[in-house]
Amino acid sequence: MNVIGKLPFVIATRLSQQIRNMSLVRSLAFVNNQWVPASSGETFEVTNPANGQVLGQVPDMDVDDTEQAVNVAFEAFKTWEHTTAKERSVLLRKWYNLLEDNKDEIARIMTAESGKPLSEAAGEVAYANGFIDWFSEEARRIPGEIVASPTQTKEMMMIRRPIGVAALITPWNFPAAMITRKAGAALAAGCTCVIKPAEDTPLTALAMADLAAKAGIPKGVINVVTCSRKKAAEVGRVLCTSPQVAGLSFTGSTNVGKLLYEQCASTVKRVSLELGGNAPYIVFESADLEAAVKGTIACKFRNCGQVGEIYVHFALDLG
């Protein structure tokens, strides 16, 4: 029992040591395609939750740093919005290819900083990369629309245009997928991004930004601002109230979502919120109880219970 109990700790320790030597592990934030420190010089530690070992340190950015990232994204949008659908599609495909080429390393980084099993991290990476795969193709298919006119002398034509800078605030439980799902759509549409990853899992976000730059995505189009929990509120407030940010996407708790929604009202932003809650597991009387128990373990304990999905068990006993 003691030996088995020690195995996860030993594996986590070994992984913590390996992480420091990985090529995609970064210790600086990513703004304007440059690796930058916080203007204050402050940093915070990223630790392995399995054993408490320090994986590295990243910049603890503040209001001024965030405003700088927003300014950079705003300037980049002036050029990026005029790229063709084909150009954006090609760049997203290159990013996807690099994400696939480096999927094993990203999975190990994710496991080390989030604590999820390596097999589950690998599954998330495949899931996350699929969003970039999808949007690389959807970038070419952003249609306009011709609407029937109420008069014979007019023709009504609708053209879809990117809104501008998108602020993306992502949670720790799916540190890769929540970035690609948001950023993939934004980039495909012609928007630029400022990403604030969870303070628990910034290394995954920085690794993905590294690969985006290597894929040739222009400077300022993707920016990653890292900050500790202590500064999260002030950084979030900048993203919500800045007139240069056109839209905000947030995945997290309902209480924080309400606060962000309120702060976005001052500039009437487009807001997309995926908020937390309780996910019921419903088992009907006719269900196979043994199968239902297995499903309960798989669903409710997955990812430390941090999976907001609703499951209904339809395993009917038709014998």
Sign of the alpha-carbon dihedral angle for 140, 146, 147, 148: negative
Q: Which of 66, 71, 53 is nearest to 10 (CA)?
A: 53
Measured between its terminal Cα atoms, the distance across the chain in Å is 41
- Provide DSSP, 32-72: TTEEE--TT--EEEEE-TTT--EEEEEE---HHHHHHHHHH
Q: Which two tokens stand for residue 236?
A: 């979030």
Which residue type occupies 187? L
Please give the structure tokens belonging to residue 281: 């597991």
The structure tokens 């590294």 sit at 210
Secondary structure (3-state) at 181: helix
Known catalytic residues?
A: 274
Closest to 112 measured CA to CA, from 164, 193, 54, 68: 54
Show Cβ contacts of residue 138 under 8 Å, excluding neighbours closer than 6 positions.
188
List, in sequence order, every residue forming a beta bridge with 223; answer none if it has no partner.
Answer: 194
CA 206 vs. chain centroid, Å, equals: 11
What's the rounded Cα separation, in Å, for the pair 221 and 139? 15
For residues 81 and 190, the answer to whether their CB atoms sit within 8 Å is: yes
Task: Return the ∠ at Cα 131 (arms to 145 and 99), rounded to 5°.
Answer: 135
DSSP letter (8 states) at residue 239: H
- What burial letters (b/e) apply to 191-211, b meaning 16+ CB within 10 Å? bbbbbbbbbbbbbbbbbbbbb
